[in-house]
Structure 1
C-alpha cells in the first residue's frame, strides 16, 4: 500500500475523473457519505501513501489557509492510551481493581506518555468504572515506574464527577488528578442517548466543570463523538463537528479528540473533515484523532489524519473497547497496530512496540477476550521458543 503510489494513482485517475461528474449520493460511490458536496469531493482523494498526501496537502492549491500547516514536518506522534478507561468500560463482566491497576502499571513501562486511567461517572450507568477513585488514589500514592513522565487523565461528565478528581484534604489526602477530559457529541441523537440532554445543554453543564478544573490547575481535554455518522441521527455534517470543536477549545480545552465512534469513517470522509477543521482556522496541534476499527479502516484513517498535520492519536492496547450506545461498534485502533504503522512510515512515538504487545497479550488473557491487535500476536509469534529445561 505504501509503495508504487505513482502507478496506483495512474490507475485511479479515470476513477477520480468520473467521480467529479458523479452525484454525491450516487450508488456508484458507496464509500462516500451523503454529506459530501461537489466542492469537498474535489478536495478529497484516496491516497496510496503518506508522502503523496503530504505533498497534496502542502501544494499551493490545497494547503489549508492556516499557519499551522507546518505541523506536517513534525515527526513525533503522541499516542494517548485509552484502554484502561474506554477499553474496559464496555466489558460485560467486571474487571477486578487489581487487574486494572496492573494494566496501567504495565502500560506505564512502555514509553507511553498519556494513559487514560478511569472515569468518574455514576456506577449505575458504567459499573466498570465504579472503582476509579481507588485507581486515582493508588496512582497518587504509588506512581508507576516509567521511563518518562506519564499523565493519567480521568473522564469527568459533570460537577459531581469532578469532585472525585479535585484535591482532597480528607484522609487519605491527595493532590487530585492532573488532567480530566469531558465528552461532547456532534450528534443530537447521540447526545440525547448518551448524555440524556441536547448538545446545547451539555455545554451548559461542561462550562462550570472546565472553569473549576482550570482554577485548580487541572488540564482539560475534550472529546467529540460521532464525528462522521451517528446510528440515531445519520451522517454528521463536518460543519457541526467544527462548531462543537470550537466551543470546546473556547471553553478552555487544550486539545480536542475527534471520535469516529462507530468506525464508519473512510479516507474520503476523514480527509473532508480534516479540511473543514483546518480551513475553519483550528490548528492541527489542537486536534487528536480517535478512530474505532469497526470496518477495518482505522489505520488508513490515521494515515489521512497524520498527513493533515495531526500528531496525537488515541488507541487502545489489544484493540479493547466498543460503545454501549452504538450497536456493532468495536474497539479503538489497537495501540500495537498504531505504533507499528507510525514507525513504518518514519514517525517517532517513544513507545516500545514489543512491550506494548506483551501487555496486549497479557490483558487479553487476563479478561478472557480475543486480542484484536494484528501486530501484537504476529510480533510475539516470531520470538524464538524457549528450550525446555532438561
Structure 2
C-alpha cells in the first residue's frame, strides 16, 4: 500500500434510516423518523438508504416503510434506495416510488442460513424475481455481500468466495455491488488486496463499501478502498446501526467521522460537516442515546476546532 494517490471526491450514502433504525429496540415514532431524514437531507447528502421493505414481523421497527417514503417524496435532491429481501418487498418499494433497490445476500452459508434461512447459492438464485420485477419498472438494482471480509461464524472469508458470488451477480445483470464488513472484521491490507483482485476480475463492476466500526478499523479500511479507486461509501449518522443476525455487531462508521476524515485528506464529499455534526447531536438526543463512543466528532469535534491559547503565551519569544 505505497501508492498515496487518492480520488478527489467521494460519494457517501447515509444509511441510518435503515441500518441505524433497525438496530433500535424501542419504537421510533414515524414522525421522528421523518424528522431525522429531513435533518440529514439538509446536510447536502445526496444518497440515502431510507428503509427496508422486510416483513413487519422480521423487523417491526421498519413496519412504517411505506409511510416514511411517501411522506418524504418532496426531498427531490435525494436519491432514495431501499433494501429488499424478496419480490414482495420489491413490489412494495416500487409501488411507493423507490427507484433504487438493494439486494440482500451473505458471503457465507452460516450467516445466510441465519439471515435468510437459505444457503448463499439458493439465496442468490432467489434474487432473480426481484431483478426481473425491477427491470419491468425501470428501477435500478444494486447487489450486496454481507460479512464480505469476515463472518462471525466462519472467520475470514476467502476472496475466491466473493469472486464466485460476483460472477453470479454479473451474469444476473448486476453491475454495482456493496461489500459489507458487517461485523468489523476487515483490516486495511485485506481490503486493499481483495479490491485489487476483484477489480481486476470484474472491471465493469462498481464497488461500494459498507463499513462497520466494531473494532475501530473502519476508517483505515475506507482509506485502503480509496487507494483502490473506490469512491462509494455507506455510513450512518452518530454511528447508529448493527446487524440483528451478526453477534457483536455494532454501528456503521459515523457519517460525520467519514466526512471529516475525507475532507481533512482533501477529498470532497459535498456534505456540510457542521450540519452533519449538528444532525448527529440531534439524532442522539431524539433517540435517547447517551454514549458518544460511536462518533469521534461528537467526542472531540473536528480538527479545525481549536482551543484558546494558554494565558501569557503571547509574552513568549
Assess same fold via TM > 0.5.
Answer: yes
Query: Which of 206, 211, 218 is the matching residue for 1:291?
Result: 211
Q: Which residue of 1 aligns with 2:82?
A: 154
Contact 1:219 1:254 in 2 (8 A): no
User: CA separation in 2, counterparts of 1:136 and 1:252?
Assistant: 27
Task: Describe the superposition over 1:124-177 as per-residue Cα deviations: whole angstroms up to 9, x where unpaired.
Answer: 11111111011121123xx13x7xx2111111110111121123xxxxxx5x21
Contact 1:337 1:376 in 2 (8 A): no
Q: Which residue of 2 aligns with 1:97?
A: 30
Q: SS at 1:166's partner residue?
A: helix
User: CA separation in 2, counterparts of 1:204 and 1:365?
Assistant: 42
User: CA separation in 2, counterparts of 1:295 and 1:267?
Assistant: 12
Please show how residues 232-251 of structure 1 align to structure 2 within 5 Å: 232-251=153-172
Task: Describe the superposition over 1:341-387 as per-residue Cα deviations: whole angstroms up to 9, x where unpaired.
Answer: 11111111100000011111111111112242102443389599xxx
1:340 is the counterpart of 2:290: no
Q: Which residue of 1 aligns with 2:297?
A: 375
User: CA separation in 2, counterparts of 1:294 and 1:123?
Assistant: 27
Task: Describe the superposition over 1:37-70 as per-residue Cα deviations: whole angstroms up to 9, x where unpaired.
Answer: xxxxxxxxxx5xxxx4336xxxxxxxxxxxxxxx
Task: Describe the superposition over 1:221-262 as per-residue Cα deviations: whole angstroms up to 9, x where unpaired.
Answer: 111111111122222111111221232243233421100111
Task: Describe the superposition over 1:7-44 as per-residue Cα deviations: whole angstroms up to 9, x where unpaired.
Answer: xxxxxxxxxxxxxxxxxxxxxxxxxxxxxxxxxxxxxx
Q: Which residue of 1 aligns with 2:228?
A: 308
Q: Which residue of 1 aligns with 2:132?
A: 211
User: CA separation in 2, counterparts of 1:260 and 1:270?
Assistant: 10
User: CA separation in 2, counterparts of 1:315 and 1:248?
Assistant: 24
1:329 is the counterpart of 2:249: yes
User: CA separation in 1, counterparts of 2:16 and 2:3?
Assistant: 30
**Paired residues, what number?**
304
Q: Judging changes above 3 Å, is the alpha-carbon distance between structure 1 residues 152 and 182 closer, same or farther for their aligned structure 2 residues?
A: same
Contact 1:290 1:315 in 2 (8 A): yes
Contact 2:192 2:227 in 1 (8 A): no
Q: Which residue of 1 aligns with 2:189?
A: 268
RMSD: 1.9
Displacement of 1:315: 0.4
Q: Judging changes above 3 Å, is the alpha-carbon distance between structure 1 residues 263 and 177 closer, same or farther for their aligned structure 2 residues?
A: same
User: CA separation in 1, counterparts of 2:70 and 2:209?
Assistant: 29
Q: SS at 1:80's partner residue?
A: strand
Q: Which residue of 2 aligns with 1:108?
A: 41
Q: Which residue of 1 aligns with 2:54?
A: 121
Larger of the two Rg values belongs to structure? 1
Contact 1:316 1:334 in 2 (8 A): yes
User: CA separation in 2, counterparts of 1:136 and 1:323?
Assistant: 22
User: CA separation in 2, counterparts of 1:254 and 1:83?
Assistant: 24
Q: Judging changes above 3 Å, is the alpha-carbon distance between structure 1 residues 373 and 158 closer, same or farther for their aligned structure 2 residues?
A: same
Which segments of 5 or more consecutive residues in structure 1 lack a partner in the other structure? 1-46, 56-71, 168-173, 385-390
User: CA separation in 1, counterparts of 2:173 and 2:78?
Assistant: 22
Which segments of 5 or more consecutive residues in structure 2 lack a partner in the other structure? 308-317
User: CA separation in 1, counterparts of 2:210 and 2:198?
Assistant: 15
Please show how residues 177-216 of structure 1 align to structure 2 within 5 Å: 177-216=98-137
**Could you tell me the TM-score, scaled by structure 1's length?**
0.74
User: CA separation in 2, counterparts of 1:254 and 1:359?
Assistant: 33
